[in-house]
Amino acid sequence: MTAQYDILLKNGHVLDPTQGINQKKDIAFLDGKIALLEDSIPTKHSRKTVDVSENIITPGLIDIHGHYFEHIVPFATRADSVCLPNGVTTTMDAGSSGWTHFDGFREFIIESQQTRIMALVNLSALGMMASKRNIGENFGPTIGISGGPSTMLNPERVGELQDLRFAQVEEAIKCIKDNPNTVLGVKIRIDQDISGEANVIPALERARIVADATDSFIMVHVARVPIPLSKVFEYLNPGDIVTHIFHSAENNILDEKGYVRSEVKEAKDKGIIFDIGADRKNFGINLSKSAIEQDILPSTLSSDITKTRPGAEIIYTLPEVMSLYMNLGMTLEEVIECSTKTSAKAIRQEGLLGTLKPGSIGDASIIKIESGEFTYSDGENYEISASRKISPKLTIKDGKIWNSE
């Protein structure tokens, strides 16, 4: 008998929020797609069978916030080193590149990786700027008042939106239109050090023009934003993404009494996507726990992954972010949904990615919940102890088993 399928995953527990499935099932793949999902599929029908007993099968994980413009952005990392080994089959680069060098980013980075990479173009033609302070290093000795060396960090920091002449609307629009299957929208960082307060509203206005002209969306970095979030929300539409939503710096989601602000609840109800972006300096463990206890959950979990460097020695992968939030009060089902179903919807790939429905793209992640003693920390070095973690075991992308060789 001729085999009907390329790969069969046998005896796994399927957890697929798009179909409401949370039970033991077999999954078969053919020609790069999900072919069949049944309680039992005979092994004789497949050319290769993998027994995944005692493991969980989820749709391929989607990390909507990473930085992969390696060798150009100093803190960027290599997608294939941090995504596929961790069950992440699809990722989105969050504005590492501006329009000026996007062709190079696409040809030499995006198209060279096995990981499926989509991208947001930075509103600034410069892309993400990285002074030495950005990448965790001291500038070296600075001159103190007395003329001698100072041990203080140089307060100056170069940010891509400090000069709005680089925020070139027409060129950003053209970049999105020229790359319809790759560039999904526009990214801005309105951090005090990156844009300065005076440029926040003009940057939001220009990003809105770009998104509206291309029927795309905005992702806005709000960690250390110098204006109230209510003002930021005025420029956002349903489907736009606020990343670092659980940061604990000034102008965060909690009021002075520790309650989630009413405008934050209204924005979430409106359909604005709340993304974690769990770079350690851009999220707070206590704030996250408080939000979850008040039923304000993230829409999407993402890593904001970069490479380790001085000042950023701990970098969390997406499964680690999922593990952290599972230990902060979210259920396993919720963290899976926030890394598959809602992530696919956020990047407008609903029905194609983030699902195990027959006919969809053949991506799957095989994970296991492990018990032990684990710790997680945030940018304030606040630590929590955890008893469970999500451990990636096997990755299937486009109907093929991924391996590093």
Please give the single-letter amino acid code of residue 167. Answer: A
CA distance 198 to 116: 37
pLDDT at 281: 85
Residue 71 DSSP SS3: coil
> 99 near 125, Cβ under 8 Å?
yes
Report the interhelical angle of 285-293 vs 318-326 (nearest 10°): 60
Q: What global pTM score does this model have?
A: 0.93
pLDDT at 404: 67
Query: Where in the chain are the domains?
Result: 64-355+369-387
> 284 near 380, Cβ under 8 Å?
yes
> 91 near 339, Cβ under 8 Å?
no
Please give the single-letter amino acid code of residue 403. Answer: N
> 240 near 203, Cβ under 8 Å?
no
How many CB atoms sit inside 10 A of residue 166's CB? 18
pLDDT at 1: 62
Taking alpha carbons only, the member of 253, 389, 341 closest to residue 17 is 341
Backbone angles phi, psi at 396, to 5 degrees: -120, 125
Distances (CA, A) of 224 to 229, 249, 281, 284: 11, 6, 10, 12
CA distance 22 to 40: 15
Residue 219 DSSP SS3: strand
For each successive 10 residues of the chain (405 residues), what is the average pLDDT?
Answer: 91 98 98 98 97 98 98 94 98 98 98 99 93 46 29 56 95 98 97 90 98 99 95 98 96 97 98 95 94 98 89 85 97 99 99 98 99 93 94 98 81
CATH topology of domain 64-355+369-387: TIM Barrel (3.20.20)
Alpha helices by DSSP H, listed for 102-251, are 102-108, 169-178, 192-195, 200-214, 229-233
Concatenate the DSSP letters of all residues of 361-399 into one string. Answer: B--EEEEEEEEEEEEEE-TT--EEEEEEEEEEEEEEETT
CA distance 13 to 16: 10
Taking alpha carbons only, the member of 63, 147, 49, 108 closest to residue 315 is 63
Beta bridge partners of 30: 33
pLDDT at 149: 31
pLDDT at 148: 30
pLDDT at 405: 60
Taking alpha carbons only, the member of 115, 103, 124 closest to residue 66 is 115
